Every structure is written in C-alpha cells, then in structure tokens.
Amino acid sequence: MGGLRLSDGLLYSADQQVLTVGTVTSLIRADVYKWGMLMAGALVAATPPLVIYAFLMDYYIAGLTAGATKG
C-alpha cells in the first residue's frame, strides 16, 4: 500500500496536521512504533472525558434511572 498519501501532499509540516494524521505520520514509521509517545497521547486524549464524567456522574445516573421507570 505505500505511496503518497493525500495528507502528505496537502500538509508539509507536522504542526499543521490534524492530530490523527500527525500521530500516524510522526510516531509510526514502517514497522517501528514509538509506544511511549503513543500511550502518552492516548492518556492525554482519554483524560477530558473522564474528568467530565466524574463531575457529571450524578446527572448521568439520574438520567439512566429516570428512563428506566414507568410513568
């Protein structure tokens, strides 16, 4: 599958790339994966939803239980 990707033709520097494309092009080279950087990115990406869930957990549970009862 090699060759030139669309993102390579449109964007020249890594700071202009979308996060998903930049991750693939800069942290994965052929069969060499930079696992430390990939896992750090996954942790940073997973943190905001976890924090939001922690603060809004009461509303989430109230919505689940309200929809489960009749009448």
Q: Which residue has the higher pLDDT, 10 or 28?
A: 28
Q: Where are the alpha helices (DSSP H) in 1-71?
A: 6-10, 19-27, 35-68
Under a CB-based contact definition with an 8 Å cutoff, are residues 26 and 14 in contact?
yes
pLDDT digits (tens, 9 = 90+) for 33-42: 888 988 888 8
pLDDT digits (tens, 9 = 90+) for 17-29: 777 777 777 787 7
| 3-state class (DSSP) for residue 56 | helix
pTM given for the model: 0.55
Question: Is pLDDT at 11 greater than 60 in this prediction?
Answer: no
Question: Is pLDDT at 4 greater than 90 in this prediction?
Answer: no
User: pLDDT band at 55, cuts 50/70/90?
Assistant: very high
Q: What is the DSSP letter of 30?
A: T
